[in-house]
Amino acid sequence: MTLRLHNTLSGKKEDFKPIDASNVRMYVCGPTVYDYAHIGNARPVVVFDILYRLLRHEYGPEHVTYARNITDIDDKIMKAAAEAGVEISEIAGKYTKIYQDDAAKLNALPPDEEPKATDYLDQMKAMIEKLIADGHAYEAQGHVLFHVPSMKNYGRLSNKNKDELIAGARVEVAPYKKDPRDFVLWKPSTADQPGWDSPWGRGRPGWHLECSCMTEDLAETIDIHGGGLDLIFPHHENEIAQSECAHGKPLANYWVHNGYLVLGGEKMSKSLGNIQTIHGLLKKFPGEALRLTLMSAHYRQPLDFSEEAVKDQKRRLDRWYRITEGAKEGEIPPAVLAALMDDLNTPKAIAALETEKNPGAVLAGARFLGLLTENSDDWFKGGVSDGPSGEEIEALIAERLEARKAKDFARADQIRKDLKAKGIILEDGPGGTIWRRTD
Ligand SMILES: [Zn+2]
């Protein structure tokens, strides 16, 4: 079976052929650590964790290197630090730790490397010097800019034409740009801003440059570069421009992008006031329920996220925990692997687990997906914080039945009322009592 991945560069699903099967290299753009990450940022964490697990399965864990960077110098971090009256390293350190802890609760394996941008200042300055020397960049008023017309095939990842590229670059419009598409490699810092000495004055790097230098540790050409769809332009387009003009070879052979996460069809945004943080959601739901929700749509499709959807996936996990209770882990169902090998088709992999009859195979398949990692007692004790778990409800139903048998109708009625208050409806029928949630 060959792994197939949709490559943004070609717009097609392609067979994955690593440069060196004994060292498969993947780089994914990580967080800018200035605040709690929102649930949309959890999607690439889970998507690329699945890809990482699959690569480790195919090539052996010791033959895969996965790097996910930490952007710890950025204007947003500077703003948060200034507001809090602390150094940027304090803000960055705090939110890096929270991000890593939250990713662990989503059962994402830690990447092999988590490079921090501020550890790469020397490489960044060296890359800028090379780009200037080769006529790809120029200095202007304390800034260094990449000169887009110096690269013949700029724009081929996002497939944008020149007018679209100009419109997209407008956010950084400045009188010293030779071409409106030119973008910043280095910018000056004022005395009260964090900065590093450089041949172009004290300043700090542009965001795109950071990733171009952090990928260099893996190789000049890596196998897979990943991130969210919103990073294709300008971030990844500009990473390609910098790295390819500096090295004279492709930055990555496969570009893999995950789709947006939406809430009730709307994009999450601060102005709409519908931001949900990973950290906040993990207080309400088990990490595995959030993880399964994030896997419930194909990674390239939009994912409509809601708490209702998480509750549905929690119930699915309840069921899987019940049927695999006491089972010994068996073989991963071939249909699960086949679905994942076909461009990470997680909905199909989940469907394959649903039809699997052997509890040991269900357990193996689910664990491969980073699920069913708790023992079932702990899982059922956890439950959803805003409602009782299935196990708790079943226990109360049994208690109510006992109470009725003992003619303690007051107690039986109380149990029914308590459950109703928690959104659980009991229906007595000829086959016994069944329950359902009203929410
Ligand atoms: Zn990046």
pLDDT digits (tens, 9 = 90+) for 274-305: 889 999 999 999 999 999 999 999 999 999 99
Q: In this predicted structure, what is the pLDDT of residue 386?
A: 59
| Pick from 293, 313, 276, 387: nearest CA to 47 | 293
Q: What is residue 138's predicted lDDT score, i.e. its pLDDT?
A: 98
- The average pLDDT across 320-328 equals 95
Q: Counting runs of H as helices and runs of E as strands, what totals does the chain give?
A: 16, 15
* Whether the predicted pLDDT of 385 surpasses 90: no
CA of 214 to the centre of ligand 1 (A): 9
**How many angstroms is it from 336 CA to the middle of ligand 1?**
31
List, for residues 166-195, the tens digit of each pLDDT value: 887 766 668 889 999 999 999 999 999 999
Residue 436: pLDDT band by 50, 70, 90 thresholds? confident
CA angle 109, 115, 118 (to 5 degrees): 150
Distance 362 CA to ligand 1 centre (A): 36
Given the DSSP bridges, would you call strands 24-28 and 261-263 parallel, antiparallel or unpaired? unpaired
Query: How far is residue 356's CA from residue 336's CA, in Å, rounded to a whole number?
Result: 10
- Is pLDDT above 80 for 437? no
CA of 231 to the centre of ligand 1 (A): 8
3-class SS of residue 393: helix
CB contact at 8 A, 291 and 298: no
User: How far away, in angstroms, is 234 Cα from ligand 1 center?
Assistant: 10
User: What pLDDT is attached to residue 69?
Assistant: 98
- How remote is the CA of residue 88 from the centroid of ligand 1, in Å? 20
Averaged pLDDT, 88-108: 97
Tens-place pLDDT, residues 15-42: 999 999 999 999 999 999 999 999 999 9
State yes or no: pLDDT of 384 exceeds 60: no
pLDDT surpassing 80 at residue 379: yes
What's the pLDDT score for residue 171? 63
Residue 438: which pLDDT band, with cuts at 50, 70 and 90? Answer: low
Distance of alpha carbon 188 from its chain centroid, rounded? Answer: 32
Specify the pLDDT at position 174.
81
How far is the centre of ligand 1, averaged over its atoms, from the C-alpha of 254 (Å)? 15
Handedness of CA 412, 414, 418, 424 (dihedral sign): positive
User: What rounded mean pLDDT belongs to the chain?
Assistant: 93
Q: Which residues surround ligand 1, an ion (CB under 5 A)?
A: 29, 211
Q: What percent of the chain has pLDDT over 70?
A: 97
Instruction: Judge contact between 286 and 379, C-beta under 8 A.
Output: yes
In this predicted model, what pLDDT tens digit does every residue of 37-87 receive, in sequence order?
Answer: 999 999 999 999 999 999 999 999 999 999 999 999 999 999 999 999 999
Q: How confident is the model at residue 230 (pLDDT cuts 50, 70, 90)?
A: very high
pTM of the model: 0.87
Q: Which residues of 140-160 are buried (b: 16+ CB within 10 A; e: fewer)?
A: eeebbbbbbebbeebbebbeb
Nearest alpha-carbon partner for 195 in 279, 289, 87: 87
**What's residue 173's pLDDT?**
67
With a cut of 60, say whether residue 439 has pLDDT above it: no
| pLDDT at position 149 over 60 | yes
